[in-house]
């Protein structure tokens, strides 16, 4: 037998019994009363007391117990318990009156008496309560059969009782001339008992499923009470009966059983709540079902025995017996006719449903299989031929485990074991997915819904191979780059996490490589994006072929790739760094080889950053470190490999902190505007001022533009700073003009900022109009052009500004690749020499010739010139001799606040060296200009 078959054949363990203590206590109390009654209680007085008031107390306990439960219950059976309470109350009253006569008054109980009235009222509420407990028929035929069954039992018992005792009792009452009341009373007790016994027997097989334990206990209590009544009413015992005898034990036990029944109901309800609120599944009872079916025949047999008894005794068959027997036979015939018609209808309905379900099973596209407790397939639906490619007849008789993939068998056995161990009402079904062997020998992915079936399993299976294949494809697409089919960022991060948390979590040789293709944007711009995609595909193929089988190559997006290098367990830091650096350098050389794109040959380089795993490092931190190292490689000249160092992260943190403080400074107004005079080199007069921004931080540190602009990577904040600088410079220039110091101001802006939508053309015009700054009083210094900036757009913008009277200066002339192109295309008024040329103009003959040539170009183009960074008198003499008209620097003054600037403007000029001056190239005069150097000397305190 297979493992699955052995599991199915394992017997199930039933639940334990509950309420054992209360049942044992009940049995001990009843047994104690029985022993006392059998021994006469030790004295006649105690026997009378226990036989009368003891029974009254027991019946009163039953009445109170049933009433309390009925008041607390909200179920359909509540009226039944109220009726049982009334019935027990009648019994308690009858026994109390009986004890009043015998114990208190010391007199025999008269016949009839008030006690008889209470005892006669015991049966009707109990009978109606049994009807409430019964399972109600759903059809008229069911109600008729219930009535017929009751009469069959009652009539047969009446026949037998009449033959045995009642006829003799009625005859003796007539002969002895007993009063009608006594005669009726002598017949009323047995007749009511017969009715009650009939209801008990008839309803025993029709009781409701709700609170079955309580209903059974109540029926048993009433049956015991009726049995004791029947013994008491027999002529042989009644004449010799005395209170306190053993017969009282039956009434006592019946009352206590009825009192216990509600508590059993409450216990069943609590058990149902603990099991999830669902009734526990019950097994079929073939014996009980057989007795229920044989009830009519047993009743007819009892009736026949009553008639045969009269015949055997040689008595004349009484008319009551004949009439009752005829009605019993008639009821039996009618009942059998109803049952025959009902059976015919049920047979037809069953056949119709069987055909219906057979059609559903045979026509279903799902395969339905039934596995026996041994694991052998006993039934397989015809759909197996279409789904599995195997005939159903070939599968019948095979073990279920034989068609399951060996790799899935253990998981299936585990799930089946868990399913069979779970309570059926909590988990009626389960779902299992595994692989089945098809007729061609292939393995199909099959999803099965599993149910319990007669100790085995019922499986409803369907082929989900295409769904599994589609899910696998979707999973692959979600984790891989669609262009290169390399793992994407999500899958790469997951594998890094797996490498850091697996069995090699402490391996320091694990490293992450971040790779960026240098020059890829130029490929897209020159030969198109389709060629760029082809280059990425080839680069991805080279990367995947270059890493080891255990490593992972991935594309993170754009032209960024990554590789995960799994360590080999070495602990030598130098050796692992050398090994990984060698792998990274080999990847760099491989990726830098020429790419054949169509008929063209394209070259790109690769900048690679390497970061090694450290103890307790997270995947995010490791990938961030590699990214920082890659950017350091690009900043260091590209086409190189850079290892991560902790200082890189410290630099990033410092830059981030400074950028955050810069944003706060913009919001809190911590910036100040200083101005550096621009001096005419021939006369020393102040021709203009260059506006420069300074930031005094909360710590008292005064940052120059070269310091805080280097970390201002936030374009929004840079734009905000540019707008503030321009507005403050124009506003203060207008205020100086109104105060009698009409000197022009220059503001330095980058070419990209001039084209930014955050600084529209109308804003400059509105700013000049609002402050009333005269034409020619503002000059924009254009920083060296960014290669990404369009010269056409920049030219249009500068032409529009010149129409407003704004003068244009080319800042940093002599450095940068686009200076000559800017001179050729842009409307420039002033050339501002880069301070790199000015610093060595005295010491270096080469720089002297270069500077002289540039100034000659400015002269030939009719432009003015300004030298930035003129710090010593010798530079003033040299520049003036070469024809430079203006200069700014520490040779005259550093950046000044507004107070010191106005004092300088009142003075009007600075002293200049008195050496012979060269012939001026340009006529001196007032010029508009903008900001000076971004690496100025320290600013004097303000």
User: Is residue 671 classed as helix, strand or coil in its secondary structure?
Assistant: strand
Question: Region 777-783: what's the mean pLDDT?
Answer: 88
Cα angle 562-565-568, degrees, rounded to a multiple of 5: 175
On the question of pLDDT at 930 being above 50, the answer is no
Summarised one tens digit per residue, pLDDT across range 445-499 is 999 999 998 888 989 888 888 888 998 899 999 999 999 999 999 999 999 998 8
Cα angle 511-514-519, degrees, rounded to a multiple of 5: 155
Contact by Cβ (8 Å): 461, 366: yes
Q: Per residue in 424-435, is it b (16+ CB within 10 Å) or e — as a string?
A: eeeeeebebebb
Q: What percent of the chain has pLDDT over 90?
A: 20
Q: Between residues 14 and 743, which one has the greater pLDDT?
A: 743
Summarised one tens digit per residue, pLDDT across range 69-91 is 888 876 777 888 888 899 889 88
Residues comprising the chain, all counted: 942
**Among all chains, which residue has been given the structure tokens 């020393």?**
684
**Which tokens sit at 278?**
């669902």
Residue 857: burial class (beta carbons within 10 Å; 0-12, 13-18, 19+): middle
Gap between the Cα atoms of 709 and 691, Å rounded: 15
User: Is residue 223 classed as helix, strand or coil in its secondary structure?
Assistant: helix
Provide the 10 A C-beta neighbour count for residue 212.
16
Gap between the Cα atoms of 49 and 33, Å rounded: 13
Q: What is the 8-class DSSP label of residue 909?
A: B
Summarised one tens digit per residue, pLDDT across range 706-731 is 555 555 444 556 677 778 888 889 99
- This prediction's pTM: 0.50
Query: Which pLDDT score is estimated for 288?
Result: 43
On the question of pLDDT at 67 being above 80, the answer is yes
Question: Region 248-254: what's the mean pLDDT?
Answer: 86
Query: Which pLDDT score is estimated for 299?
Result: 59
DSSP for 635-657 reads HTTSSSEEE--HHHHHHHHHHHH
Provide the 10 A C-beta neighbour count for residue 6.
14
Q: Between residues 615 and 697, which one has the greater pLDDT?
A: 615
Summarised one tens digit per residue, pLDDT across range 638-688 is 889 999 988 888 877 777 777 777 777 777 777 888 999 999 998 999 999
- Residue 383, strand partner residues: none
Contact by Cβ (8 Å): 638, 649: no
Query: Which pLDDT score is estimated for 208?
Result: 52
Query: Which pLDDT score is estimated for 281?
Result: 42
Question: Region 330-359: what's the mean pLDDT?
Answer: 76
- Name the residue among 885, 891, 888 with its Cα closest to residue 912: 891
Q: Cα torsion for 325, 330, 336, 338, to the nearest 10°?
A: -140
């Amino acid at each position: 037998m297979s493992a699955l078959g052995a599991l199915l054949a394992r017997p199930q363990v039933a639940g334990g019994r509950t309420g054992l203590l209360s049942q044992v206590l009940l049995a001990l109390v009843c047994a104690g009363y029985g022993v006392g009654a059998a021994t006469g209680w030790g004295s006649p007085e105690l026997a009378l007391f226990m036989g009368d008031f003891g029974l009254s107390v027991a019946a009163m306990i039953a009445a109170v117990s049933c009433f309390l439960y009925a008041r607390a219950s909200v179920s359909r059976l509540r009226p039944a318990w109220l009726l049982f309470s009334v019935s027990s109350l009648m019994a308690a009253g009858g026994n109390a009156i009986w004890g009043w006569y015998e114990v208190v008054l010391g007199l025999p109980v008269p016949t009839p008496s008030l006690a008889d009235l209470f005892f006669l009222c015991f049966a009707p509420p109990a009978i109606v309560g049994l009807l409430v407990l019964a399972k109600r028929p759903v059809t008229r035929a069911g109600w008729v059969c219930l009535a017929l069954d009751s009469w069959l039992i009652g009539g047969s018992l009446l026949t037998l009782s009449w033959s045995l005792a009642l006829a003799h009792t009625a005859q003796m009452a007539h002969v002895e001339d007993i009063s009608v009341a006594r005669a009726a009373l002598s017949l009323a007790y047995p007749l009511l008992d017969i009715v009650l016994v009939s209801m008990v027997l008839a309803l025993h097989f029709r009781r409701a499923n709700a609170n079955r334990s309580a209903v059974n206990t109540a029926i048993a209590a009433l049956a015991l009470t009726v049995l004791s009544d029947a013994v008491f009413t027999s002529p042989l015992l009644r004449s010799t009966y005395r209170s306190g005898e053993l017969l009282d034990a039956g009434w006592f036990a019946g009352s206590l059983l009825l009192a216990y029944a509600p508590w059993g109901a409450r216990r069943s309800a609590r058990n149902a709540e603990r099991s999830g609120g669902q009734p526990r599944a019950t097994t079929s009872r073939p014996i009980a079902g057989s007795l229920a079916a044989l009830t009519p025949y047993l009743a007819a047999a009892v009736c026949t025995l009553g008639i045969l008894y009269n015949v055997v005794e040689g008595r004349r068959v009484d008319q009551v017996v004949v009439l009752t027997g005829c009605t019993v036979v008639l009821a039996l015939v009618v009942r059998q006719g109803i049952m025959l018609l009902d059976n015919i209808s049920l047979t037809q309905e069953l056949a119709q449903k069987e055909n219906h379900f057979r059609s559903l099973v045979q026509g279903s596209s799902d395969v339905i299989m039934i596995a026996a407790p041994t694991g052998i397939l006993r039934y397989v639906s015809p759909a197996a031929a279409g789904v599995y490619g195997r005939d159903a007849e070939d599968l019948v008789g095979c073990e279920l485990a034989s068609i399951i993939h060996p790799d899935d068998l253990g998981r299936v056995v585990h799930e089946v074991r868990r399913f069979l161990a779970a309570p059926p009402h909590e988990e009626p079904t389960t779902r299992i997915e595994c692989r089945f062997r098809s007729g061609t020998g292939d393995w199909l992915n099959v999803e099965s819904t599993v149910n319990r079936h007669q100790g085995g399993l019922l499986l409803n299976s369907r082929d989900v191979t295409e769904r599994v294949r589609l899910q696998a494809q979707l999973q692959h697409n979600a984790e891989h780059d669609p262009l290169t089919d390399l793992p994407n960022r999500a899958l790469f991060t997951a594998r890094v996490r797996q490498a850091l948390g697996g069995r090699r979590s402490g391996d320091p040789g694990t490293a992450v490589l971040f790779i960026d293709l240098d020059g890829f944007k130029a490929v897209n711009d020159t030969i198109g994006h389709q060629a760029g995609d082809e280059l990425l595909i080839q680069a991805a193929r080279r990367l995947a072929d270059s890493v080891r089988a255990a490593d992972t190559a991935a594309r993170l997006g754009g032209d960024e790739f990554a590789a995960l290098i799994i360590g080999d367990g070495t602990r030598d830091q130098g050796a692992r760094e050398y090994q990984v650096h060698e792998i990274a350098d080999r990847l760099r050389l491989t990726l830098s080889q020429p790419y054949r794109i169509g008929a063209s040959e394209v070259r790109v380089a690769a900048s690679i950053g390497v970061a090694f795993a450290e103890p307790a490092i997270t995947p995010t931190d490791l990938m961030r470190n590699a990214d920082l190292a890659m950017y350091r490689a690009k900043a260091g000249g590209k086409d190189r490999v850079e290892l991560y160092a902790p200082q890189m992260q410290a630099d990033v943190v410092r830059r981030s902190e400074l950028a955050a403080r810069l944003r706060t400074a913009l919001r809190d107004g911590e910036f100040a505007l200083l101005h550096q005079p621009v001096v005419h080199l021939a006369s020393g007069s102040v021709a203009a001022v260059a506006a420069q921004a300074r930031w005094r931080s909360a710590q008292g540190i005064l940052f120059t533009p070269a310091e805080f602009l280097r970390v201002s990577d936030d374009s929004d904040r840079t734009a905000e700073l540019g707008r503030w600088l321009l507005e403050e410079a124009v506003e203060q220039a207008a205020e100086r003009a109104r105060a009698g110091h009409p000197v022009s101001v220059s503001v330095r802006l980058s070419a990209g900022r001039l084209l930014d939508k955050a600084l529209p053309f109308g804003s400059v015009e509105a700013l000049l109009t609002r402050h009333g700054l005269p034409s020619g009083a503002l000059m924009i210094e254009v920083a060296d052009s960014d290669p990404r900036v369009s010269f056409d757009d920049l030219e249009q913008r500068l032409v529009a500004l010149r129409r407003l009277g704004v003068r244009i200066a080319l800042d940093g002339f002599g450095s940068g690749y686009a200076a000559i192109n800017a001179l050729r295309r842009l409307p420039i008024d002033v050339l501002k020499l880069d301070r790199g040329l000015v610093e060595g103009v005295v010491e270096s003959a080469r720089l002297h010739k270069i500077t002289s040539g540039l100034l000659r170009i400015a002269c030939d183009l009719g432009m003015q010139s300004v030298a930035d960074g003129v710090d010593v008198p010798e530079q003033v003499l040299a520049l003036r001799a070469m024809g430079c008209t203006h200069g700014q620097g520490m040779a005259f003054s550093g950046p000044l606040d507004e107070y010191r600037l106005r004092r300088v403007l009142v003075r009007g000029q600075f002293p200049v060296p008195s050496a012979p001056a060269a012939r001026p190239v340009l006529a001196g005069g007032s010029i508009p200009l903008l900001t000076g150097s971004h690496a100025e000397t320290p600013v004097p305190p303000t």
